[in-house]
Structure 1
Amino acid sequence: MAVVVRAGAAPMWWLGVFAAGVGVLVPGVTGRRIGVTAGAALFLIGAAVVPLVRRGRYTALARGASRAGKHDVLQDRAVTVRNWRRGHRWWLLLAGAVALGCSFVVPAAGGMLLAGVGTGLRLKAAWLGRRERAEQTLLWVRVDWLDRRGGRPAGRSVKGLRGTGIAAGDAAPGGARRRTAALV
């Protein structure tokens, strides 16, 4: 579940950083100082609000998670991330273009907001990871409950979560890549 949440964090962060960087170069209508100050406020608001959105739904789904059976289809982390990013690529590009376009009015503000949303998604995945570590179970969304574009991890089509042991799969708690110890 945290993998799907985390899948959009990096593209949003990097698109936001790029748009903010370009925005600092353009004086804009309001001026750089106002743009960067407004952007910093929007970054903080985005990073604070996004982790709190739908937290109750995530908690309810995690509380009702059942043990994954042998017929449940659970996919690798890399496949999940690739599917989500492919399914949302046009939305990501549109968000980046809007953030870049905002730079000509309020320099860096749109990009910093987009970067703040990416940071908020990363914080939400970290919260899910702490929950997974505390319960010693990885939470999974069945593939057939997500649509082919990657879906939403707590959307209407998700009826429940599946749980596996903490060492299952190729994802660590929180959706990060599992680090394997090097064999000596």
Structure 2
Amino acid sequence: MPGSKTRVSTFEKGEPVRQRILDAAERLLRSGEAEFSMRDLAAEAGVSFATPFNQFGSKAGIMHALSARRIETMAERYAAVTPPVDATGRVRLAIEVAVAVMLDEPDVNRAVMGSIATAGPARADALTRSTAFWTLAVGASEGEAAPNRQRWRDLPIQLALAFRGALSFWSAGELPDAELAPAALATANTLMLGFAKQ
């Protein structure tokens, strides 16, 4: 059963409470408990029943925080590689990175994506975070002329919306793992072609 008393002793002293709660939520999701209760989560994290509510407000708030973790991981992995000079190549690389993050733990990530459509007590910032990630990819390089950079400034939010759409079909089981990257690339190619023709 999740949250055995022995688990509490495995936490490092000083580990931030929010981190402990998110780590515990991921462990529950990994064990196939997508419908975990806040009581299960508190026990798994070794905190009081009220602590997850105090830190995140609701289970939806926790799932939004887990989504933010995924986007941060995408940005970290993207920043760790040398991107192509052209915007199209950078966007394609960002898609490969984003898909790889989602496929690292597909069951966990399907559960996270499937639940972030639920509103939490606080305004979610998934669109802002996702747009920031796609801005890394679209961001101007030294080799691009200023007019091209200006023309593509609205592309990141469109890519965020498109990738989220692909993820919704994937998390619902309508898009198999092997088709996530090709679907996301096809959508991005269409968007970039549209922006290039402007």
The two structures have a TM-score, normalised by structure 2, of 0.28
Instruction: Specify which structure has the higher proportion of helix.
Output: 2
TM-score calculated relative to the size of structure 1: 0.29
Higher relative contact order, structure no. (Cα contacts within 8 Å, ≥ 6 residues apart): 1
